[in-house]
Amino acid sequence: MRIRALALTLLVACAVAVPATAHASPSPEPVLALTTSGPVSGLREGLVNEFRGIPYAAPPVGELRWRAPRPVRPWLLPRSATAYASPCAQRAGEQQLAGSSEDCLYLNVTTPRSGPSRKPVMVWIHGGGNFQGAGSTYDPRRMAERGDVVVVTINYRVGAFGFLSHPGLEGSGTFGLQDQQAALRWVRRNAALFGGDSRNVTVFGESAGGVDICGQLTSPASNGLFDKAILQSGSCLTRVPTFATPQDGAVHLVKDDFWAPLSAREPVGVRVAEELGCGTVSCLRLLPTAKLLPYDSSFGIATGTPTLPRDPGSALRAGAFHRVPVLSGNTRDEARLTTMFVEALTGPITRERYAQLLLDTFGADAPAIERRYPADDSAAKNALTLASLDTDRVFACAQQETTRLLARRTAAYGFEFADRTAPTFSPFFTELPPGASHASELAYLFKLLDGAPYGPNLKHVELTAAQRRLGDAMIDAWTRFAHTGRPGWPKAPYVQAFGQRIEPIDATRVHKCDLWDHTPSAVVR
């Protein structure tokens, strides 16, 4: 009762509700808002109010490591919300990312100052393979202002801390997903206090964030937590892309999903525990953060769990998902990013290496695949071909099939980001042209802050005037979808391309999905 009384007093005294009019301020000013846990003091800057580093769950440290997120302890006095909280514990190269911490379950709220309250709320789930990334590297002010929406960016546990599976550990392999659900519950409870509509919440994310959202679409525990979803370069059927092992120069074109049964995940956790000298979870909970970081990519999402009772791909085919409108798409040249790393780590992709890679991966189907993606004497052309193959196999056709399956039972809309002039946040270490590579659309939706989106010391991206106009069109579509459930073009199978022109495309033809949908050796299902 004391907290509620104080909250009401602050609301009346400080008029923290979003005002009816707004004007640009020369410098940030403090602004108060209420949450169900206590008051927070953020910044009023330009046409938005920003609140950074608000806790949505208790710190998952000590005995709370590898437990479901617990409620945050309430506070009475205004809590500073002017600085971003620590990213969740993760590596930068071989070292722990500076400033990252297991105490990381925080979110950030950006809300327009002008216009009526009850604005749509958009909750961003960052990418990073579920072993790196942070909500704080995405500045959504442009989206909030232009689209008249409240934008929430969140952190969630990643790597070993978010996805460890181990026998007897309740919640194995799904702690990161549980964090996302806790953040969405926070949004339902608190949206109206920031001028948002708690009954109109759109969850959107890219790469692993899109994959996770597809998991949330099929998780019973997510029922009622969001009203719309946007999947960017991540779906219920997205595969693990090609990777390289620099130690032996090997290239691995894999066929794994992002999810696997708990029975397959737990032995990995047991092996890691043994390597660390621990036979029990209690022992693992006593280990310092740094001891677990080298295993950040060893763990993945586990199915056959209370959070994900079944594989999301099979759940989608059975129609076992939440009936909300979905906007789903990918970039034209997704895998140029991962192929660039393969080249940089293992050298040129010669004709012989390329042909052997197809044979090792697809066996008897290799000749048919090579006819559609032919080898060349030029290593540069082979790199482009391998990138095209992986774009289609791993991302685009999986995204298209996900959209088709959703469209059977709910409103689903397709898109593709196709601007091959797009700048890339990540430096390309080879001559492979970036094109519209994985994550290249993010700079059109957000201002990417230093380190965004997948690691430290990556350059900030500035858009040209033409690119900014394209970004405006994308923001308009994304936020129109948040407002109305319709982005502004027909439902799937129609696909809207955002490139030098904004126009419809035949995505299944562009990405040779007839091949990948009928090649048994191409995927594991």
Summarised one tens digit per residue, pLDDT across range 101-141 is 999 999 999 999 977 789 999 999 999 999 999 999 999 99
Summarised one tens digit per residue, pLDDT across range 159-218 is 999 999 999 899 999 999 999 999 999 999 999 999 999 999 999 999 999 999 999 999
- Pairing of the two strands 150-154 and 106-112: antiparallel
As separate numbers, helices (DSSP H) first and strands (DSSP E) second, the chain gives 18, 21
Q: What is the dihedral of CA 79, 83, 88, 91, to 10 degrees?
A: -150
Instruction: Give me the domains of the chain, ranges plus CATH numbers.
Output: 2-28+41-163+170-239+256-334+388-510 (3.40.50.1820)
With 0-12 / 13-18 / 19 or more C-beta atoms within 10 angstroms meaning exposed / middle / buried, residue 487 is buried
88 within 8 A of 293, measured Cβ to Cβ: no
pLDDT < 50 stretches in the chain: 1-25, 452-457, 524-525
CA-to-CA dists, residue 47 to 33, 187, 288, 474, angstroms: 16, 22, 43, 20
* Catalytic residue set: 207, 334, 438
487 within 8 A of 480, measured Cβ to Cβ: yes
Distance CA 456, CA 136 (A): 12
pTM for the model stands at: 0.92
Distance CA 236, CA 326 (A): 13
Say what the pLDDT of residue 247 is.
57
Mapped onto helix, strand or coil, the DSSP state of residue 354 is: helix
Say what the pLDDT of residue 255 is.
58
**Residue length, the chain?**
525
Beta-carbon contacts of 26 under 8 Å, excluding residues fewer than 6 positions away, are none
Q: What is the dihedral of CA 247, 253, 254, 255, to 10 degrees?
A: 180
Say what the pLDDT of residue 23 is.
39
Structure-token pair, residue 162: 């978010």
